[in-house]
Structure 1
Amino acid sequence: MGGEERYIGVAERRARLALRHRLTPAARATSPEEVADALVALHGSDPATVYLAIGARLAEASGTVAATDRALYGDDRRLVRMHGMRHTVFVFPTALTAVVHASTGLAVAARERATLVKDMAKAGAPDATWLKEVEESTLAALGRLGQATASELAREEPRLREQFVYAAGKSYEGLHSVSTRLLKVLGVEGKVVRGRPLGSWTSSQFRWALAPEHPELDPAEAQAELLRHWLTACGPATEADLKWWTGWRVTDVRRALAAIGARAVSLDEGTGYVVAGDVDPVPPPDEPWAALLPGLDPTAMGWQERDWYLAPELRSALFDRSGNVGPTVWWDGRVVGGWAQRADGEIVWRILDGEGVGRDAETAIAAEAERLRGWVGSTRVTPRFRTPVEKALVG
């Protein structure tokens, strides 16, 4: 990571974002898999985000839903919805599932299983041996069924219906079912993944399926590989960005940076990093560009330090209280406003930048809004995490 540090300013960072995240018309992708490869991970906490994020980046967005369904649920399953960084649900290219599991999932999985066993013991529920029997029976049932809901699995393995009291006597006391907690553990352990939704592409109710088989990788090597992928897509990034995005300890981040031979560069925030061979200047896109990105979009949520593309004064309107970003309007590499969909299907937007963006920008943004309405059609999309500007636009 040695050598002279080249300065990469805001303009170049925005150029890299535009081109590598497939946001300019000339850089748009031809398939959902191409988008996922470019972004490394698509936020999946809100199911609609996956489709909206892909549609914003496709050259021909009209077939977004069908193409994404095929990639997620087709026989060859080129995209997989699973737990990943920071214990969050993402959609990954299938080829990356082993890397994600080893680099981020193993540590989370160990904590989740230990917590479940501890909680059940406190509640006087059956022990870990009993839980292991239920787990093996559940996985066998899922193998027979192909895909199934928790209720369908409970018909095959009735012990999944058993309940236990969580945090007895606490203000947050609750009644948990074995199925809810066990399937979550199996998910972070990489044994099961989310299958087809019960409803449309906006539904948050999913079936479960056995995870695609993948090799068991060395965690340190997997961390280096994941970091290499993400820095290629999102570099330069600071150490704080990397620690936040991965959810790793700082020692893991530093070890992975050294393993891939990352190069240090100078940013307005301090020292940043790019992959080896990515230090040369990146020219800006040929023309300014507009985009309407969904809530939790991986570009808007990609870095912890966001001042280079998101003015601090806009955050209170565009984020909820937990730090989840809502739908955003972009102009030439920066967030300038928010958007929403009304009950009649109209896509409405508002510029929050106090200085305005100019007539050309507004024309381009309006065209993107019409493009979005064209492929979303009669489907109504309400973000899972509501933000002030989105609620104001709808109301």
Structure 2
Amino acid sequence: MPEHATTVLDTRALNRATLARQHLLTRADSSVTEAVAHLCGLQAQEPQEPFTGLWSRLSGFAPGQLDDALTGRTMVRTHLMRRTVHLVTAADALAWRARHDTMLRGRVLGTYRRELAGIDLDEVAAAGRAVMSDQQPRTMSELVRALEDRWPGPPRRALGELLVAALVPMVQLPPRGLWQQSAGVRNLPMATWLERDIDPLPADAADPVGQQLLRRYLTAYGPAAGADLRAWCGLAGLPAAVKAARARDELVVFRDERGRELLDLPDAPRPDPDTPAPVRFLPAFDNAILGYHDRSRIIDTAHLGLSVAGHRTVLVDGRVTATWTVRDHRLHVSPLRPLTAPEEDAVHAEAWDLAAFLDGDIEGVQLDAGS
């Protein structure tokens, strides 16, 4: 295997690699479906946030493009990586779901271990599929009500999450997730909505689906450590997939400044660390931040809490440097450190462009006092 273990990539080098692969260094000309596939999905439990994430990454992005992908069933919203709702291509949802099943069950049971103790998971899954076999969309509450006579013990929330997030692969149907629409969650089995069965998990010790996840993750997030891969997908490190890729000399290895081993693809972009990085506005829960165990390449330790608390962030020189929100008809930017005059100008310019994209009743941009 080609070894670059003596080559150390510092934080700035990792930052520029991340920005390049996340389409945050230069906006891409690809289609929405191509972009979401490249990014391995967008975290999307807040249904409007992916629109900002795509606007910051794609040239000429229009909200209708994502709407068309969702209503046209080439994109779906489903529980997948980390048990969170992700916007992913239909092809990836079908190919990856079976590989995530064990993790999804484990995470729900870990949250509701006491409430779900002793429950027969296969029996509950079969009953849930039977209820949904009429091909009628249901809310989680409606699905639980259809089954609660048989399982009256667990709280509705616990039984509902077990069914919808783990046992029965579901998609959240439009209008949930469409541009500027507020709609509750209505679920339908993935195979019903996409009119195709989920790909079965291959009985192969080399974990071919895991190998695909590894390659795709490194394409969009590398160079990265095994812990970063686990943090992104929630799976247990994919050791067989990594071993198989190493055996075929498909990976190169670097080190970070802490001495951690970083895996990467040989021909993946690793720009010069001095490459200028434009201001970018990120949505809440963006995977450019959350897709790593060690997030120091893009956010300072002091601000790590922002990445999990739902704050929308602003990248300045490639790093989280401000938060942003819309309130009182203004787009507010709150810096986390003092900005230089050129930085303020760049933030203002990008903020006005974002305000125009959001196309609401935003009347101005305000740079609030920094913290």
Alignment-mate amino acid for residue 16 of structure 2: A
Alignment-mate amino acid for residue 103 of structure 1: R
Contact 1:42 1:298 in 2 (8 A): yes
Contact 1:338 1:349 in 2 (8 A): yes
Q: 1:198 to 1:57 in 2, by over 3 A?
A: closer
The RMSD of aligned alpha carbons is 3.4
Other-structure match for 1:270: 259
Deviation at 1:103, TM superposition (A): 2.5
Distance (Å, rounded) in 1 between the aligned partners of 2:300 and 2:157: 42
Question: What does 1:262-301 correspond to in 2, within 5 Å?
Answer: 262-278=251-267, 281-283=270-272, 287-301=276-290
Query: TM-score normalized by structure 2?
Result: 0.80
- Secondary structure of the residue aligned to 2:200 is coil
Aligned-pair identity in percent equals: 23
- Secondary structure of the residue aligned to 1:80 is strand
* Structure 2 spans left out of the alignment, 5+ residues: 363-367
Greater Cα offset, 37-46 or 224-233: 37-46
Alignment-mate amino acid for residue 205 of structure 1: G
Match of 1:233 among 212, 220, 223: 220
Deviation at 1:342, TM superposition (A): 0.6
Other-structure match for 1:306: 295
Distance (Å, rounded) in 2 between the aligned partners of 1:279 and 1:23: 15
Match of 2:319 among 334, 347, 350: 334
Contact 2:280 2:350 in 1 (8 A): yes
Other-structure match for 1:370: 352
Match of 1:216 among 197, 200, 217: 200
Match of 2:83 among 84, 87, 92: 87
Alignment-mate amino acid for residue 336 of structure 2: L
Contact 1:160 1:178 in 2 (8 A): no
Q: Note the alpha carbon deviations across 1:230-264, whole angstroms, 9 max, x for none.
A: 011111112221222222234x3x32222223221
Q: Note the alpha carbon deviations across 1:141-198, whole angstroms, 9 max, x for none.
A: 12xx4x44457768xxx734647243xxxxxxx45586664333444xx3x2111135
Question: What does 1:152-191 correspond to in 2, within 5 Å?
Answer: 159-160=146-147, 162=149, 164-166=152-154, 174-176=155-157, 181-187=162-168, 190=169
Q: 1:182 to 1:340 in 2, by over 3 A?
A: same
Q: 1:375 to 1:239 in 2, by over 3 A?
A: same
Deviation at 1:330, TM superposition (A): 0.5
Distance (Å, rounded) in 1 between the aligned partners of 2:101 and 2:11: 33
Q: 1:119 to 1:324 in 2, by over 3 A?
A: same
Query: TM-score normalized by structure 1?
Result: 0.76
* Structure 1 spans left out of the alignment, 5+ residues: 167-173, 381-391
Distance (Å, rounded) in 2 between the aligned partners of 1:294 and 1:176: 27
Match of 2:70 among 64, 69, 72: 72
Contact 1:22 1:38 in 2 (8 A): no
Other-structure match for 2:133: 140
Distance (Å, rounded) in 2 between the aligned partners of 1:152 and 1:176: 12
Q: Does 1:40 align with 2:40?
A: yes
Match of 1:347 among 319, 322, 331: 331
Deviation at 1:111, TM superposition (A): 7.4
Distance (Å, rounded) in 1 between the aligned partners of 2:162 and 2:81: 19
Distance (Å, rounded) in 2 between the aligned partners of 1:198 and 1:3: 46
Alignment-mate amino acid for residue 98 of structure 1: L
Pairs aligned (count) = 349
Alignment-mate amino acid for residue 226 of structure 2: E
Q: 1:300 to 1:279 in 2, by over 3 A?
A: closer
Alignment-mate amino acid for residue 223 of structure 1: G
Distance (Å, rounded) in 2 between the aligned partners of 1:3 and 1:49: 39
